[in-house]
Homo-oligomer: A and B are copies of this chain.
Amino acid sequence: MDYLLDGVTMSEILKLKSPADFIGKQGPGVISFGSGQPDLPPPKEAFEGIDLKRDLRYGLIQGELKLREALTYEYPGSTAENFVITNGASEALDLIFRSWGKGQKVLLPRPYYYSYLPIIEMAGMVPVFTDLVEGRIDLGDFHKKIKGCKAVLINSPSNPTGCVEAIETLKEIQKVTQQLGVYVVSDEVYKDLIYERENYHIEGNHVITINSFSKTYCMCGLRVGYLWSADKKIVEDVCEIKTHSSMNTNLIGQDMALAAMKTPREYIQKEQQIWRQRRDLIFKGLTDLGFDLWKPEGAFYVLPKCKNAREFLTVLYQDYKVITYLGEWFGAPDRIRLSYALDIKQIEEGLSRIKDAMKRVKVL
Contacts and interface: CB of A to CB of B under 8 A. Distances in A.
A246 B246 contact: yes
Interface string A168-196: 00000000000000000000000000000
Contacts of A59: 23-24, 221
Chain multiplicity (copies): 2
Contacts of A35: 57-58
Interface stretch (A84-92, A127-135, A198-206): A84-92
Contact size range, A: 35 or more
Contacts of A118: 241, 243-244
- Most central of A98, A219, A245, A256 by chain B CB within 10 Å: A245
Interface in A47-64: 47, 50, 52-53, 55-61
Contacts of A293: none
A310 to B, nearest CB: 20
Nearest to A87: B246
Contact of A94 (B240, B244, B248, B256): B244
A223 B244 contact: no
Given A53-B47, A221-B251, A250-B222, A245 B58 contact: no
The A contact surface, by secondary structure, is loop
A310 B243 CA distance: 22
A139 interface: no
A119 interface: yes
A39 B57 CA distance: 8
A250 B247 contact: no
15 contacts: A18-B243, A35-B58, A37-B57, A55-B221, A56-B218, A56-B220, A59-B221, A87-B87, A90-B246, A91-B246, A94-B245, A115-B243, A118-B243, A118-B244, A250-B250
Given A20-B243, A118-B244, A223-B248, 6 more contacts: A57-B218, A59-B221, A88-B246, A94-B244, A221-B250, A222-B252
